[in-house]
Amino acid sequence: MASRSFRADRTVIDLGDGIVIGGERIHVMAGPCAVESREQLLTAAEKVKAAGATILRGGAFKPRTSPYSFQGLGEEGLKILAEAREKFGLKIVTEVMDIRTLPLVAAYADIIQIGTRNMQNFDLLKEVGKVNRPVLLKRGLSATIEEWLMAAEYILANGNFNVILCERGIRSFETYTRNTLDLSAVPVVKHLSHLPVVVDPSHGLGRWKFVAPMCRAAIAAGADGLLVEVHPNPAAALCDGAQSLTPENFGAMMDDLRRIAAAL
């Protein structure tokens, strides 16, 4: 069902208010890694909106490597995201980690994110397939393109056709960057599948300095959108500060991107 042979046209995902993923326009999803506080999130939302983002990201349930790291605000974080949506007219993308919290996350999110670590959590994929919400499916840390598309297949086969694929870097022998952003996945997935593809250079590179050039490259490669971490004060971030852009750097990058993508 995820294959191009299943349908001739491309999947377009209408989020309402003129925001369509997989259409003419490239959409930028931006915001902090984690919702840390009301003030932090509302500041981030205001800045990314002003710079031209249409979708606000922010994790309320965080999959952290260490159990002692900040785990997210849970439902309180979702409520803050909903407030930002109302205030700034942004759509919300946020991660679900568990079937038990899926109804809660689905009640708040415009797009449900499946993180890289859950790409092959097949029971979660099946449940997300039964929910009437678009899904952002991140590529697994060590997943082949074939495995990634089969994960999407789980969601489609359960009745949810609104899947957006997200390339976020894969593990390789290279350690200078956090992961190796596989931009070749963009044209390959477009060749194999009708689903839209967005690119996340923040997690792909892990260092904010390299995010802007890879955003430019992702657009040139044919991505339908970008996912970028932006924090009002990256040095004080509770999660992924090293890869987060300041609002100023994000604004400058967006101005730059507009020069190479007329439809941004």
**Which residues contact ligand PEP (rule: CB under 6 A)?**
33, 59, 63, 115-117, 138, 168, 203
Residues from 199 through 228 that contact Mn ion (CB under 5 A): none
Q: How far is the CB of 8 from Mn ion (least distance, A)?
A: 36
Is residue 44 packed enough to be buried (19+ CB in 10 Å), middle (13-18) or exposed (0-12)? buried
Which strand (E) or helix (H) includes residue 38? helix 38-51
**Under a CB-based contact definition with an 8 Å cutoff, are residues 135 and 94 in contact?**
no
Residue 240 in contact with Mn ion, rule: CB under 5 A: yes
What residue 115 binds from Mn ion, ligand PEP, none (CB within 5 to 8 A, per partner kind)? ligand PEP
**Best CA proximity match to 18, nearest among 50, 54, 52, 45:** 54
Dihedral sign for Cα 82, 84, 89, 92, please. negative
| Residue in the shown chain whose Cβ atom is closest to Mn ion | 33
**Under a CB-based contact definition with an 8 Å cutoff, are residues 59 and 95 in contact?**
yes
Q: How far is the CB of 119 from ligand PEP (least distance, A)?
A: 8
Q: Which is nearer to ligand PEP, 25 or 117 (CB)?
A: 117
Q: How far is the CB of 222 from Mn ion (least distance, A)?
A: 24
What residue 81 binds from ligand PEP, Mn ion, none (CB within 5 to 8 A, per partner kind)? none
Q: Which is nearer to Mn ion, 11 or 71 (CB)?
A: 71
Q: Which residues contact 61 (CB under 8 A, 6 or more apart)?
A: 71, 72, 74, 77, 94, 95, 96, 97, 98, 101, 105
What residue 138 binds from ligand PEP, Mn ion, none (CB within 5 to 8 A, per partner kind)? ligand PEP
Q: Which is nearer to ligand PEP, 7 or 189 (CB)?
A: 189
Q: How far is the CB of 230 from Mn ion (least distance, A)?
A: 11
The window from 2-10, 23-31, 32-40, 176-184 that contacts Mn ion (CB under 5 A) reads: 32-40
Residue 97 in contact with Mn ion, rule: CB under 5 A: no
Q: Which is nearer to ligand PEP, 5 or 175 (CB)?
A: 175
Whole-angstrom distance, CA of residue 43 vs CA of residue 37: 10
Q: How far is the CB of 127 from ligand PEP (least distance, A)?
A: 18
Whole-angstrom distance, CA of residue 108 vs CA of residue 126: 20
Pairing of strands 91-95, 111-114: parallel
Residue 81 in contact with Mn ion, rule: CB under 5 A: no
Q: Which of 21, 33, 102, 257 binds Mn ion (CB under 5 A)?
A: 33
**Under a CB-based contact definition with an 8 Å cutoff, are residues 248 and 43 in contact?**
no
Amino acid residing at 106: A
Name the residues that contact Mn ion, by CB under 5 A.
33, 240
